[in-house]
Amino acid sequence: MTDPVIAPDEPSPPSSPIEQALALCEPPRRREDVDLAHGYLDLLGQRDPTGAHPGQRLMLSRALPLVYQRFWRPTGARLLMGLSGPDTAEEHRMALEMLSIEPADRVLDVGCGPGNFTRDFGAAAAEGWVVGVDASASMLETAVRESRDGNVAYVRGDAAALPFRDASFDAVCCFAALYLIEEPLRALAETVRVLAPGGRVALLASCSRGPLPASVGDAVVRRLSGVRVFGREDLTGALADAGMTGIEQRVAGFAQFVSARKPG
């Protein structure tokens, strides 16, 4: 009589990106205890970390996501970076280059809006997975609707208190969001905290130019719009203070692209 054939253990099905995002949460969260009703993981509930200025409130409107990707973002980028600055396609190329995403990487997109960059990261990290985090429900609803890769999860959370464990990601992007975030330097510290050793960060933010000190431009622009104007060394300096290396900066008009690496 032959030995009975023992079936090998069924391979466990690959967990969904939402489950992977949940597994990284600090404090730990269980699927049953979180709000997933809109296709993203809502970790804020009634809490709203965005500021009271008009530019910040606009990000929560239902109308902006409808025009954001096609009109608002390209026009805003042109105003910020000038006619000779990178266009949308070039910006996407720059983000991918600064982040050097490998296929199996874990990538975080902070202030992901409607997922316009997050989707690129999903394609680049085809064997890994990607999380987009934003505080705006309407932006995230658009991101979920337009999501095309099965390796991307969206989380409603606060950039200044990221809900993830230390060293969770290989690459973190924060494009066009730091200047709207109430506590940008806390958010920057959070991006460094969640980066794994050797991880890369890519930032796009405002940049003061001209004879006036950054603080003057910032006081005027922020009061009117809520958009913060960073000095040329504010972000590079904060990254250096946090121990990041290989810090590079490219200034285009009133914008700055900054990349850096966490030693390890």
| Shortest Cβ 135–ligand SAM spacing (Å) | 4
- Of the candidates 94, 112, 125, 192, which one interacts with ligand SAM according to CB under 6 A? 112
Q: Is 111 in the site for ligand SAM (CB under 6 A)?
A: yes
Task: List the Cα angle 71/73/233 in 5-degree steps.
Answer: 160
Verify binding: residue 231, ligand SAM, rule CB under 6 A: no
Applying CB under 6 A, the site for ligand SAM has a residue count of: 22
Candidate segments 5-13, 108-116, 122-130, 229-237, binder of ligand SAM by CB under 6 A: 108-116
Q: Report in angstroms how near the CB of residue 166 gets to ligand SAM at its nearest.
A: 19
What is the Cα–Cα distance from 231 to 184, expressed in whole angstroms?
A: 13
Nearer to ligand SAM, 79 or 216 (CB): 79
Residue 239 is a binding residue for ligand SAM (CB under 6 A) = no
Sheet holding 152-156, edge to edge: 41-42, 152-156, 129-134, 106-110, 169-175, 195-206, 255-261, 245-252
CB of 64 to ligand SAM, least distance (A): 8
User: Least distance to ligand SAM from the beta carbon of 22, Å?
Assistant: 18
**97: three-class secondary structure by DSSP:** helix
Among 130, 135, 194, 244, binds ligand SAM (CB under 6 A): 135
User: Applying CB under 6 A, which part among 145-153, 175-183, 207-215, 224-232 lies near ligand SAM?
Assistant: 175-183
Residue number with CB closer to ligand SAM (81 or 160):
160
Q: Can you list the positions of beta strands (E) in 1-105? A: 41-42
- Is residue 175 close enough to count as binding ligand SAM by CB under 6 A? yes
Residue 117: partners with Cβ closer than 8 Å, 6 or more residues away: 92, 95, 109, 173, 175
255-261 vs 245-252, strand pairing mode: antiparallel
End-to-end CA distance of the chain: 58
- In the complex, residue closest to ligand SAM by CB: 113
- Any contact of residue 190 with ligand SAM (CB under 6 A)? no
Q: Closest Cα partner for 179 from 235, 139, 243?
A: 235
Which helix (H) or strand (E) is 120 found in, with range? helix 118-124
Positions in the binding site for ligand SAM (CB under 6 A): 49-50, 59, 73, 111-113, 116-117, 134-136, 139, 158-160, 175-177, 180-182
